Amino acid sequence: AAAGPLCLILDDNFYYRSMRYEVYQLARKYSLSFCQVFLECPLECCLQRNRLRSHPLPDETIELMATKIEVPDAKKNPWERNSLILKSSGCTSEDDEQIISLLATALENPVKQNEEDTEQKEADRAICAASAVHQADQTCRRLISQAMRDARDKNLLPSEMKSLAEELNKLKVEFLEDLRQGDTWTKTNTQNQDSDPATTEISSFQREAANVVNKYI
């Protein structure tokens, strides 16, 4: 029997549009199909589900994500035209049919490499700016993970580890929000003019995180 189409399912929050756009760019590069299913979920439900996890995130992290999540908008972003928004409270047979229809449409219309125009290029530039925040987010996560490992090696009490994690995550949230708004954590007159601004800002976050850790060890 002939093999059917291969579908790759990326199951993640992808709350920044830039995160999803990176996947779309890969599809465009290799002329593959692309579509996305967005599950709407009330904030209170998200908080309840998070608390049931073995390693829940602080509530404020979920709350901030809820305010920052970017819903697919095909009118503003043509590349999101193959999108489906569903309620996450329950899946019905009608939802199944919509998903199958979405997949069929995407498979019949793979992304072409030359599908770009001036308007889309402008959108690309805006998304690249958002991507910088996303990259900073990933770097902060790695720094926090390392800080938590270092703190664990110091035999901190579970209650202290929990408080430390909450403080570091709160610091990350504040840092990313300031970065998104264009506010810097580094004084202009102390910056090296030849240094990369993003690297300089991350270094500032790393110093602030170290100050938080030092309160506990």
pLDDT grade, residue 1 (50/70/90)?
low
Q: Are residues 104 and 125 in the same domain?
A: no
State the CB neighbour count (10 A cutoff) for residue 165: 17
**Domain finish residue from 108, 142, 164:** 108
The larger pLDDT score, comparing residue 131 to residue 73, is at 73
CA distances from 85 to 4, 39, 101, 103, 176 (A): 26, 6, 13, 14, 27
Same domain flag for 90 and 156? no
pTM of the model: 0.55
- Confidence tier at 188 by pLDDT (50, 70, 90): very low
Q: Evaluate whether residue 3 is within a structural domain.
A: no
Residues 72 and 154 in one domain: no
pLDDT over threshold 90, residue 102 = yes
Say if residue 130's pLDDT is above 50. yes
Please state, as a whole number, how many other Cβ atoms lie within 10 Å of the Cβ of residue 4.
7
Residue 85 has pLDDT above 90, yes or no: yes
Show the domain range for 180.
118-214
Give yes or no: residues 134 and 63 share one domain: no
Counting the structural domains of the chain, the total is: 2
d(CA 64, CA 8): 29
